[in-house]
């Protein structure tokens, strides 16, 4: 039932743009380490070219994705249709963590809304693109984005976010290195 694609064509690009949510999965090399799966939203995903995409990584309680990418590069992103025709799309690739102090961060950040609390942009070079039916995915209605993360970020302020990242984003739950730079030179 599934199809493997060579690149993100217009049909896949249209499908991705129509989704309000995606999921990111990574894992450490150590088999006893924790697999991570995170839901994402807030207009934070961009296709850079047919073989590359990027998404904004916001300040949060964990730093697993960043730690896993730094250790081994492996990442898979999944989109699934919660309305319309059923479909699941998985994007497998090798990720790169671009922190705000990196020379290419500002250029990448221009592709996104001016979010507060950005701790990195994850750039992924695609190695495999595959879809499947999605027949068992239930239908849901999109009601809008949640306001809690932007409100929390604003409440923390620049200094509060730096302190938060220092406490929560230096290492993963498995002890792998997290953020190199807990400050955010462009946007807190």
Residue 118 belongs to domain with CATH number:
2.30.110.10
Of 30, 29, 143, 8, the residue nearest 77 (C-alpha): 8
Q: Are 156 and 139 in contact (CB under 8 A)?
A: no
- Is 160's pLDDT higher than 50? yes
Residue 4, SS3?
strand
185 belongs to a structural domain: no
CA distance 37 to 77: 9
Q: For the whole model, what pTM was predicted?
A: 0.94
Mean pLDDT, to the nearest integer, of 79-87? 96
Residue 66 has pLDDT above 50, yes or no: yes
How far apart, in whole angstroms, are the C-alpha atoms of residue 22 and residue 166? 27
Q: What share of the chain has pLDDT > 70, as a percent?
A: 97
Query: Is the predicted pLDDT of residue 168 greater than 90, yes or no?
Result: yes
- At residue 1, the pLDDT reads 62
Does residue 35 belong to any structural domain of this protein? yes
Question: Dmax over Cα atoms in the chain, in whole Å?
Answer: 51
Domains contained in the chain, number: 1
Of 91, 111, 124, residue with least CA distance to 12: 91
CB under 8 Å to 139, separation ≥6 — which residues?
82, 83
In a domain, 184, yes or no: no
Range of the domain at 125: 3-135+144-168
- Which of 96, 110, 130 is CA-nearest to residue 8? 130
pLDDT reading at 185 higher than 70:
no
């Amino acid at each position: 039932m599934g199809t493997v694609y060579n690149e993100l064509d217009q049909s896949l690009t249209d499908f991705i743009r129509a989704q309000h949510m995606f999921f990111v999965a990574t894992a450490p090399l150590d088999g006893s380490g924790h697999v991570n799966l995170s839901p994402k939203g807030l207009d934070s995903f961009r296709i850079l070219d047919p073989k590359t995409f990027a998404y904004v990584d916001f300040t949060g309680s964990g730093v697993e994705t960043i730690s896993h990418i730094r250790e081994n590069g492996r990442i898979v992103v999944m989109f699934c249709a919660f309305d319309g025709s059923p479909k699941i799309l998985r994007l497998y690739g090798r990720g790169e963590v671009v922190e705000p102090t990196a020379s290419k961060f500002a250029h990448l950040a221009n592709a996104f809304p001016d979010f507060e609390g950005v701790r990195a942009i994850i750039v992924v070079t695609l190695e495999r693109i595959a879809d499947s039916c999605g027949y068992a995915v239930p239908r849901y209605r999109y009601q809008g984005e949640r306001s809690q993360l932007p409100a929390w970020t604003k409440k923390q302020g620049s200094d509060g976010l730096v302190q938060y990242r220092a406490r929560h984003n230096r290492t993963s739950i498995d002890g792998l290195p997290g953020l190199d730079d807990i400050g955010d030179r462009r946007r807190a």
